[in-house]
Amino acid sequence: MADKTDLLNELKNSLHIPLNVSDDDQLLTDYIDSAKAYLNNACNNDMSSDDRYRFIVIELATLYYQNRGVLTNAKDFPYSLRCVINQVKI
């Protein structure tokens, strides 16, 4: 599995945040950690060896970042992301 810096850089690319901007690095790292914990908990297993793990972690962290704040109302994960998560749960 890639180290945290690789995942952070991939998340920043996903969010179109320049790699040299570090204002939200701690927040983004926390979202990555939360996404990993969510996926491993949802699957009742360490899923880091699954090929889809990196994709799901980045997508979850992206969703967390884009839906932060008190005025944001997110009901559930997008259907396509939910499908991939359900696949790894099997």
Q: Which domain holds residue 63?
A: 4-89
Q: How far is CA 70 from CA 24, 50, 66, 67, 74, in A?
A: 17, 34, 12, 9, 11
pLDDT recorded at residue 74:
60
C-alpha to C-alpha distance for 62 and 52, rounded to whole angstroms = 15
Between 71 and 83, residue with greater pLDDT:
83
In the chain, the number of structural domains is: 1
What's the pTM value of the predicted model, to 2 decimals?
0.81
Whose tokens are 């992301």? That residue is 81
- Percent of the chain residues topping a pLDDT of 90: 47
pLDDT in tens, 11-54: 999 999 999 999 999 999 999 999 999 998 888 888 888 888 99
Q: What is the mean pLDDT of residues 49-69?
A: 90
